[in-house]
Amino acid sequence: MFGPLISKPGTSRDNKTGSWRVEARPKFLHKNCIACRLCLLVCPEGCITGGEKNTYDCDLAYCKGCGDCAAICPKKDIEMVKEEGKE
Amino acid sequence: MKEFIEGSRAVAEVVKLCKPGVISAYPITPQTHIVEELAQMVANGELKSEFINVESEHSAASAVLGASAAGVRAYTATSSQGLLLMAEVVFNIAGMRLPLVMTCANRAISAPINIWNDQQDSVSLRDTGWIQLFAEDVQEAADLHLIAYKIAEDKSMMVPVMVCMDGFILTHGIENVDIPTQEQADKFLPAYKPLYKLDVANPITMGPLAGPDYYTEARYALHKTLEDAIHLIPKVTADFAKVFGRTYNGLVEGYHIKDAERVIVAMGSVCGTIKDVIDELRAKGKKIGLLKITSYRPFPAQAIYDALKDVPKIAVIDRALSLGSYAPLASEIKAVFFGKKKKPDVISSFIVGLGGRDITKDSIKEVVRLLTAKEVTGEFIDLKPELLKENYS
Amino acid sequence: MNSIFNSGHTACAGCGQSLAARLVLEAAGPSTIIVNNTGCLEVFSTAYPQTAWGVSFVHSLFENCAAVASGVEGALKYLGTKDKINVIAQGGDGGTADIGLQALSGMLERGHDILYVCYDNEAYMNTGVQRSGLTPFETNTTTSPIGSCSIGNLRPKKPMPEIAMAHGIPYVATASAGFVQDLQRKVKKALAIKGPKYIQVHVPCPLGWRHESNKTIDVGKLAVETGLYPLIEYENGQLTGHKTITPKPVEEYLKVQGRFKHLMNNPEAIKAIQAVADNNIKKYGLKVEAQSAA
């Protein structure tokens, strides 16, 4: 029986929203990071991972380039750089 | 066990036997006695159920939707304005394929406001995807609730069922009713095992957004399932007969159809009155019969065709209007025969008993009298033309 | 890799609501059932066949999440599993304060063990930035647009936290996507309390408020720091928590958002909004005292 539409967990990960970026992407400099975790907390996509100092990175497959991580980093250790390979 | 009890109480007793885990309803005449009885049963510890006194019918339907989505058998009841207020939730429940059962105590729809019986409420919601079963008497109304859960929760169905019983006539009428035992009920209706439910162990998303690429198939599937229900319903009623000893067809029932020259088609408690008239007229040698429609949705077109194809004259009684067009049941009955080689010569359409206007044996006899070679469309029985004078100056 | 609220949802870049929803769910944990109204969050997270939700999630209609959640909670109580499972009902500002107010009020009045989270982006964003009951004074929206005879929405925000509190529930709080740890703390605190809880989260909307996508946190912070969006906590009717601020002038908040651009050359209009902020500051005692009271 084909019944109601029901979706299973994890399926949104098939949608690579990283393709949305046109202008900029975050670059994690890994120089002055103090592992405050604010970048990880404020990412609306939840695509930043990290543990110890200077281990934070975002998953570019999903990053939409909003820049909230760069804006919040207290050590300015995240820079928004020009998105490569796009018109 | 036979008891001489009010219809609402009979329904409540049978709903209790079905053991719903969540009951949520909002009061509206003439449904109130059903939910009051259930509340008392919960209060007395006779029924273990979460009884949620919601603040509107929209929330009543929403609450039982949530309960069913969480994998628990749930129940609600309403009438008229309440059914209309919860209309979007009613569509939602069918689309989400949740096996709810609701009692609709049929009542006229405002305006003008009227608390008495006709079938406009449930007939107005015939497009929602719910199975709609109409009861002729209190015994059937009660029994249909057990049958309803069995159909709804069938793994090939997962479709909600509306049991329609004429307000006041059946809800407040007192009849001799055989209330089954819990053992019989458990034998017929096992505990609900959901096909899908909100769960921590196996999370799912229910009620997603479906764009043009996905919506059609979901609706097609529901439509096909309702067509399949036509085959399932008689199987369930046959199982019912084995356990409880009472026989229902579940789709249609013929009364003196075999050699009838004229047959009346109707739904609900009016069928009882029609049967009395048929007995009277048959005794005088008139070949009259009744085709009672139990399942309005899914519409049992084949069963209707088989029953009536050789009958020369049909009178369809509607207790609801499709304002501005043909009467609802009559238009569907006519559609059964369109383009067929075998069909009645005359299918006349009558509107009877709106807003609780009593349908007497004389009313039925008037229908029989008007069922002639001349087809009539949307003929109002017992209309009072003297009331049609304007008085706004 | 993430599992409780997954990437790949189609929220706008910098969406405050997607941020807040993820933070709420992470604070709640996997033993949670989400009941969501129609709105941005539901639409961008559950477009079939994809879902961002790693917990069980149900969406029914626009205005009934509180009623559906009541039924879910009833079912879990019947099954004896309610104590182990969080039930969180979620709606936007329109779905909560306007069309959903009845269902919410019923849920609060009946005392269900449910956390209700209102994501307040101050307009009907999903349908195109129309005015809601929580749209602030003098805001430009598509149904309270500015024009030669209009300065925008003329009504104050409906006091939803007070309305929730008036139902006598054990916990009411406001939070902000600009203060992420405070939000998670409040969610955890609420979920540890039995009974109905209401948290209203201010969520900046880059599209509807017309600010840069990287200003989400800044704008959220400014709303709080001007006194326009007080962060408060009520427990059992008593004001037990409030974030103290050194108040910034409201103009700092208004000037970074396109929805308030029309006010920039209108000192009278800005004064009117400053009065709203000043009133909040006074009412909740938000101002940091000059001498520390440690």
Quick one: pLDDT band at residue B392, thresholds 50, 70, 90? confident
Tokens of C206: 């880059």
Cross-chain Cβ contact C3/A65 below 8 Å: no
- pLDDT for A24 equals 95
CATH number at residue B353: 3.40.50.920
Q: Which of B167, B171, B35, B172 is nearest to B114 (CA)?
A: B167
Q: Does C107 contact A at CB distance below 8 Å? A: no
Q: Is residue B49 part of a domain?
A: yes
Tokens of B295: 């399942």
Q: Is residue C293 part of a domain?
A: no
Min distance C3 CA to chain A CA atoms (Å): 7
Q: Do residue B98 and residue B237 come from a single domain?
A: yes
Query: ipTM value of the model?
Result: 0.95
Cross-chain Cβ contact A45/C55 below 8 Å: no
The residue extents of the domains of chain A are 20-82
Give the orientation angle of helix B7-17 with respect to helix B32-43, to 10 degrees.
50
Q: Which of C205, C212, C281, C160 is nearest to C20 (CA)?
A: C205
Q: Do residue B264 and residue B339 come from a single domain?
A: yes
In contact, B387 and B304? CB cutoff 8 Å: no
Mean pLDDT, rounded, for C84-97: 98
Size of interface A-B (CB pairs under 8 A): 41
Q: Is residue B84 part of a domain?
A: yes
**Residue A3 with chain B: CB contacts under 8 Å:** 97, 158, 195-196, 221, 225
Nearest to B62 among C30, C56, C71 (CB): C71
Q: What's the DSSP call for residue A74?
A: T
Cβ-proximal residues to B382 (8 Å cutoff; 6+ apart), any chain = B352, B353, B357, B359, B363, B366
Q: Do residue B23 and residue B148 come from a single domain?
A: yes
**pLDDT tens digits, A4-14:** 999 999 999 99
Quick one: pLDDT band at residue B360, thresholds 50, 70, 90? very high
Helix (H) and strand (E) counts in chain C: 10, 10
Q: Do residue B202 and residue B61 come from a single domain?
A: yes
**pLDDT tens digits, B299-320:** 999 999 999 999 999 999 999 9
Q: Is residue C5 part of a domain?
A: no
Q: Give yes or no for residue C1 having a pLDDT over 70.
A: no
Q: Do residue B227 and residue B294 come from a single domain?
A: no
CATH number at residue B99: 3.40.50.970
Work out how many domains chain C is built from and give that number.
1
Q: Do residue B41 and residue B114 come from a single domain?
A: yes
Q: Which of C50, C1, C45, C3 is nearest to C26 (CA)?
A: C3
Beta partners for C32? C86
- pLDDT for C294 equals 46
What number does CATH give the domain A20-82? 3.30.70.20
Work out how many domains chain B is built from and give that number.
2
Q: Is residue B57 part of a domain?
A: yes
Q: Do residue B256 and residue B240 come from a single domain?
A: no
Q: Do residue B223 and residue B256 come from a single domain?
A: no
Nearest to C68 among B62, B200, B209 (CB): B62
Range of B269's domain? 252-387
- pLDDT for C289 equals 74
Range of C244's domain? 16-284
Cβ-proximal residues to B87 (8 Å cutoff; 6+ apart), any chain = B125, B128
Tokens of C115: 């956390």
**pLDDT tens digits, B195-219:** 999 999 999 999 999 999 999 999 9
Mean pLDDT of chain B: 97
Q: Is residue B393 part of a domain?
A: no
Mean pLDDT, rounded, for B261-267: 98
DSSP B249-267: -SSEEEES-TT-SEEEEE-
**pLDDT tens digits, C260-283:** 999 999 999 999 999 999 999 999
Q: Is residue C6 part of a domain?
A: no
**How many Å from the N-terminal Cα to the C-terminal Cα in chain A?**
47
Mean pLDDT, rounded, for B56-84: 98
Q: Which residue of A has its CA nearest to C51?
A: A12
Residue where a domain terminates, one of B179, B211, B244: B244
Please, what is the Cα angle at C145 between C142 and C151, to 5 degrees?
155
Q: Indicate if the alpha-carbon torsion angle C1, C5, C6, C7 is positive or negative.
A: negative
Q: What's the DSSP call for residue C16?
A: H
Residue where a domain terminates, one of B187, B217, B244: B244
CATH number at residue C57: 3.40.50.970
Q: Is residue B345 part of a domain?
A: yes
Residue where a domain terminates, one of B186, B210, B244: B244
Mean pLDDT, rounded, for C234-263: 96
Q: What's the DSSP call for residue B191?
A: -
**Residue A2 with chain B: CB contacts under 8 Å:** 217-218, 221
